């Protein structure tokens, strides 16, 4: 299941199947939002969004898809019940890492 599929599954759930996500490794603490308010608050996700915006900008495409994804991921995390925050954080970290990995060649090709 791709990163976006994980997010859709996590946000909307499923009544017919379950998904096991391995615990994320590396930095997973929630950080303060930037002064501009342009931050998910999860370093791995903030990195992906920043690199995606860079890539879109350098290829002459609107950054709206990155802006929209940032908002979706932020709302997804903010709406997770407190009892599920750790699992939700691990899911988002994994999705962001996978998204970065999937786009690494494109990001690097544009110097992002």
φ/ψ region of 71 (left if φ > 0, alpha if ψ in -120 to 50, else beta) reads: alpha
pTM of the model: 0.65
The torsion angles phi and psi of 62, rounded to 5 degrees, stand at -55, 145
pLDDT by residue (tens digit) across 61-110? Answer: 999 999 998 998 888 888 888 888 888 889 889 999 999 999 999 999 99
pLDDT by residue (tens digit) across 67-77? Answer: 998 998 888 88
Question: Is residue 66 within 8 Å of residue 106, measured between CB atoms?
Answer: no
> What confidence score (pLDDT) does residue 18 get?
38
> What confidence score (pLDDT) does residue 5 get?
47
What residue ranges do the domains of the chain occupy?
Answer: 3-12+40-109
pLDDT by residue (tens digit) across 5-40? Answer: 444 444 444 333 333 333 433 333 333 333 334 688
């Amino acid at each position: 299941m791709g990163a976006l599929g994980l997010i859709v599954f996590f946000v909307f759930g499923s009544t017919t199947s379950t998904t096991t996500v391995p615990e994320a490794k590396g930095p997973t603490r929630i950080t303060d939002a930037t002064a501009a308010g342009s931050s998910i608050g999860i370093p791995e996700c903030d990195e992906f969004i920043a690199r995606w915006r860079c890539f879109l900008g350098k290829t002459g495409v609107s950054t709206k898809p990155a802006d929209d994804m940032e908002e979706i991921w932020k709302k997804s995390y903010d709406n997770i019940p407190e009892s599920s925050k750790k699992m939700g954080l691990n899911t988002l970290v994994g999705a962001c890492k996978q998204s970065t990995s999937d786009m690494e060649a494109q990001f690097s090709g544009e110097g992002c």
